[in-house]
């Protein structure tokens, strides 16, 4: 195509070329003004710009692994790896340190993605994501300490003044272990009696949750659900073994009791099918399973779009619980949080928050996660032998392996 020299396009082009020299000079002048010493934006101190990760220590202690990340600014962060073989998890996180060494710890999302995407053959698996969770907690701990605020302040501030936890005065959970594919009248009656017992404990205005633990096969779960009034149970937790969404759909079609799902979900990609299929009534993901606070926050936002509240699962020590508490405090759609103080070895962690008589946890007030770890006590716990958790667990009467 021939372009006429008097066409608007050609004239505009000549004008643009002629103005280049003057434009460059103007741009230089603007840039000089932008970075002038009297520009308030330049005078803002960025205390994170020179901070770098220098060391990572992983300490297996009981069934947990405690991570300590150190920096050249003497600011340290703590995290917890949960529900893995502790010795293997400790070795993995030490190996992953090569991806963190020398990095700016406040680039939390960048480092999460760097670790998650760097090892494609274990990407998304429980060992990788649980381990990232501990790292993620420690990085948020550093960021909060660096800016002198509790982490939930960095997540948009608190959406509530306190966080309801269970078991507590008006909230309890009952459950069942592995059972056969079809229940006898006696077995079903025992399950129904556990609901009645929980109701007696919390009263008519309390809530009773039922944990199926993935251990009740679909036939017996259907029998149980048909034998109780739907309003007696707030939700059924882990109604089926994850892996085939069609099983959850089949149960959802026949059971009127709400479902809490996601305990074994690792990432945002794992929870999408539950939300799209309308299976999730409560999103019961675990901060220590889903890649830490960063991923938990994203999952809560996804669930919010479907009007599904966050009800975090939690079997960590007070360290992991506190990390989850920060996210729970910040998200708008939240119901209740699981918490067992007895999991934390005595004298190991000063968490800096309390649960009142009504079952509400106060919000952390210290910078970072707000937890103080007694490292001498940690060394004592680490020297104690690790007791195998499931040596004979999950067996049917005939000796076959049951789901749990």
- Tens-digit pLDDT profile for residues 235-284: 999 999 999 999 999 999 999 999 999 999 999 999 999 999 999 999 99
Do 337 and 315 form a contact (C-beta atoms < 8 A)?
no
- pLDDT for the residue 47: 55
CA gap 340, 361 in Å, rounded: 12
**What's the whole-number average pLDDT of the chain?**
89
Confidence of residue 177 (pLDDT cuts 50, 70, 90): confident
- pTM value? 0.87
- pLDDT for the residue 401: 84
Here the tokens at position 191 are: 């399950």
- Pick the residue with more confidence: 385 or 182? 385
Do 362 and 386 form a contact (C-beta atoms < 8 A)?
no
- pLDDT for the residue 348: 98
Do 252 and 278 form a contact (C-beta atoms < 8 A)?
yes
Averaged pLDDT for residues 177-184? 82
Do 46 and 39 form a contact (C-beta atoms < 8 A)?
no
**Three-state DSSP state, 173:** strand
Averaged pLDDT for residues 355-361? 98
Is pLDDT at 12 greater than 80 in this prediction? Answer: no
Here the tokens at position 169 are: 């005065």
Domains and CATH numbers, the chain: 53-152 (3.30.390.10), 154-368 (3.20.20.120)
Here the tokens at position 6 are: 């008097």
Is pLDDT at 320 greater than 60 in this prediction? Answer: yes
Nearest to 260 by CA among 238, 292, 278, 290: 238
- pLDDT for the residue 45: 53
- pLDDT for the residue 120: 83
Q: What is the pLDDT of residues 182-205, one digit of tens each?
A: 778 999 999 999 999 999 999 999
- pLDDT for the residue 138: 98
- pLDDT for the residue 10: 44
Is pLDDT at 34 greater than 60 in this prediction? Answer: no
Cβ-based neighbour number of residue 274 at 10 Å: 24
Do 280 and 274 form a contact (C-beta atoms < 8 A)?
yes
CA gap 175, 191 in Å, rounded: 8
346-352-355-356 Cα dihedral, nearest 10 degrees: 120
Q: Phi, psi (5° rounding) for residue 346? A: -60, 130
CA gap 58, 337 in Å, rounded: 27
Is pLDDT at 310 greater than 70 in this prediction? Answer: yes
Lowest mean pLDDT among 138-142, 149-153, 211-215: 211-215
Q: What is the pLDDT of residues 74-83, one digit of tens each?
A: 999 999 999 9
Is pLDDT at 30 greater than 60 in this prediction? Answer: no
Q: Could you tell me what percent of the chain has a pLDDT over 90?
A: 78
- pLDDT for the residue 48: 52
Here the tokens at position 126 are: 């429980």
First to last CA, the chain: 72
Q: Could you tell me what percent of the chain has a pLDDT over 70?
A: 87
């Amino acid at each position: 195509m021939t372009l006429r020299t008097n066409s608007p396009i050609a004239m505009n082009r000549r004008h643009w070329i002629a103005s280049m020299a003057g434009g460059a000079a103007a741009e230089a002048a603007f840039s000089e003004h932008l970075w002038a010493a009297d520009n308030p934006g330049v005078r803002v101190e960025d205390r994170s710009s020179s901070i770098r990760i220098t060391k990572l220590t992983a300490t297996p202690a009981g069934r947990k692994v405690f991570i300590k990340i150190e920096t050249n600014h003497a600011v340290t962060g703590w995290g917890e790896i949960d529900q893995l073989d502790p010795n293997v998890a400790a070795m993995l996180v030490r190996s992953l340190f090569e991806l963190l060494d020398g990095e700016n710890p406040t680039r939390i999302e960048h480092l999460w993605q760097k670790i998650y995407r760097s090892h494609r053959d274990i990407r998304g698996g429980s060992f990788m994501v649980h381990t990232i969770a501990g790292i993620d907690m420690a990085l948020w701990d550093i960021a909060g300490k660096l800016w002198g605020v509790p982490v939930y302040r960095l997540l948009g501030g608190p959406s509530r003044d306190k966080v309801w936890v269970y078991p507590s005065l008006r909230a309890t959970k009952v459950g069942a272990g592995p059972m056969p594919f079809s229940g006898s009248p006696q077995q079903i009656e025992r399950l129904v009696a556990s609901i009645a017992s929980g109701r007696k404990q919390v009263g008519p205005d309390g809530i009773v949750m039922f944990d199926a633990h993935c251990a009740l096969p679909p036939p017996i779960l259907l029998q149980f659900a048909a034998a109780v009034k739907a309003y007696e149970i707030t939700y059924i937790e882990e109604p089926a073994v994850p892996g085939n969404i069609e099983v959850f759909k089949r149960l959802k079609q026949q059971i009127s009791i709400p479902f809490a799902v996601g305990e074994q979900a690792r990432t945002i990609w794992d929870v999408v099918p539950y939300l799209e299929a309308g299976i999730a009534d409560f999103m019961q993901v675990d901060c220590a399973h889903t890649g830490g606070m960063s991923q938990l926050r994203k999952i809560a936002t996804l669930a919010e779009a479907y009007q599904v509240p966050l009800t975090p699962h939690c079997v960590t020590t007070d360290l992991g619980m506190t990390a989850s508490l920060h996210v729970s405090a910040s998200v708008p759609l939240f119901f209740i949080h699981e918490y067992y103080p007895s999991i934390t070895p005595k004298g190991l962690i000063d968490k800096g928050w309390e649960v009142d008589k009504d079952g509400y946890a106060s919000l952390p007030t210290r910078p970072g996660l707000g937890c103080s770890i007694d490292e001498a006590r940690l060394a004592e716990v680490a020297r104690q032998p690790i007791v195998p958790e499931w040596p004979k667990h999950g067996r049917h009467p005939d000796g076959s392996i049951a789901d749990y």
